[in-house]
């Protein structure tokens, strides 16, 4: 497993196992245990995934020392604001059943993000959180919030794959040495991506499948990726710079989610309520 050093000095595994849309009360527990057995050491959950309990139980039951497992969770919109965020952080810690969270993110960057960030900074200072970051921040949202942050985000988790390479936000993030973490790293099964001639050609050359070529590209780009596969098998080969450039040329600049689109914030706010 490769590791990436964050701007606060902490190290994060380059590949993580995401549990979005996996149910709690068993399925997530089983999936996380299987991922840990397969060699994963980075598990990505969120309050809004409603499966923090299963993640924490699997981490505790795995037999792997806690310090060897990197756990990410995220603060939901309803808990933005200083006091609300303190409660949200406490809820995540309680549901996970862990003494600390390795990385905690602002899941959706709307409302009183500044107040939430202050609470996260305090939790970091108290040792309840090791690293803090953001998620789904477009360039506009980044420029709205991040310049006022005392602690700069260690991570921005956004949609990223060869068809949507996020060049503008990556340029802004480079100024604070903030690492990009990818959701939809395989384009959510986009057939145009998985069947692109450059991808399939490289798959044949290296004896890999198209998904493994894409994940290898992302890791070499310095991107933290969250595939669903329990066996990514991408650390035994290296793409050449010419091959990297061929994949970079696939960028369309367009993704499936626009955080700046009208109605997105309202839709997310009305999606559900997290209870204690």
**Assigned domain for 34 exists:** yes
- Predicted local distance difference test score (pLDDT) of residue 228: 75
- Predicted local distance difference test score (pLDDT) of residue 229: 72
- Predicted local distance difference test score (pLDDT) of residue 230: 67
Query: What total number of domains does the chain contain?
Result: 1
Task: DSSP for 31-73, please give it.
Answer: HHHHHHHTT--EEE--GGGT-HHHHHHHHHHS-S-GGG-EEEE
At 103, is the secondary structure helix, strand, or coil? strand
Helices (H), 62-129: 82-96, 113-125
Per-residue pLDDT reduced to its tens digit, 49-65: 999 999 999 999 999 99
Report the distance separating Cα 248 and Cα 1, nearest Å.
24
User: What are 116's two structure tokens?
Assistant: 């939430």
Domain of 265, in residue numbers: 3-269
Helices (H), 126-260: 139-145, 167-174, 191-194, 197-206, 210-220, 241-248
**Assigned domain for 83 exists:** yes
Task: Give, for all 276 residues of the chain, the pLDDT tens digit.
Answer: 789 999 999 999 999 999 999 999 999 999 999 999 999 999 999 999 999 999 999 999 999 999 999 999 999 999 999 999 999 999 999 999 999 999 999 999 999 999 999 999 999 999 999 999 999 999 999 999 999 999 999 999 999 999 999 999 999 999 999 999 999 999 988 899 999 999 999 999 999 999 999 999 999 999 999 987 766 789 999 999 999 999 999 999 999 999 999 999 999 999 989 988
**Assigned domain for 275 exists:** no
**Assigned domain for 210 exists:** yes
CATH number of the domain that residue 39 is part of? 3.20.20.100
**Assigned domain for 276 exists:** no
Cβ distance 105 to 134 under 8 Å?
Answer: yes
Residues forming the active site: 49
Total-model pTM: 0.95
């Amino acid at each position: 497993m490769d590791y990436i050093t964050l701007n606060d000095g902490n190290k994060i595994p380059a590949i993580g196992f995401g549990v979005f849309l996996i149910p709690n009360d068993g399925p997530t527990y089983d999936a996380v245990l299987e991922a840990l057995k397969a060699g994963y050491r980075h598990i990505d959950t969120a309050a809004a995934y409603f499966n923090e309990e299963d993640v924490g139980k699997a981490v505790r039951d795995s037999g792997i020392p806690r310090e060897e497992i990197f756990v990410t969770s995220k603060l939901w919109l309803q808990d933005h604001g200083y006091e609300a965020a303190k409660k949200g952080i406490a809820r995540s810690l309680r549901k996970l059943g862990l003494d600390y969270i390795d990385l905690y993110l602002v899941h959706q960057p709307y409302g009183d993000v500044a107040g939430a960030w202050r609470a996260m900074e305090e939790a970091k200072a108290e040792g309840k959180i090791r690293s803090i970051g953001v998620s789904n921040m477009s360039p506009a949202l980044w420029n709205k919030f991040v310049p006022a942050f005392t602690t700069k985000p260690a991570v921005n988790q956004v949609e990223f794959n060869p068809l949507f390479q996020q060049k503008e936000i990556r340029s802004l993030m480079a100024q604070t040495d903030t690492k990009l973490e990818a959701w939809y790293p395989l384009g959510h099964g986009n057939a145009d991506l998985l069947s692109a001639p450059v991808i399939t050609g490289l798959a044949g050359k290296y004896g890999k499948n198209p998904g493994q070529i894409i994940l290898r590209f992302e890791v070499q780009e310095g991107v933290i990726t969250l595939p669903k596969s329990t066996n990514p098998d991408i650390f035994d080969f290296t793409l050449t710079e010419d091959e990297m450039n061929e994949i970079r040329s696939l960028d369309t600049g367009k993704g499936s989610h626009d955080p700046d689109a009208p109605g997105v914030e309202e839709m997310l706010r009305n999606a559900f309520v997290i209870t204690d």
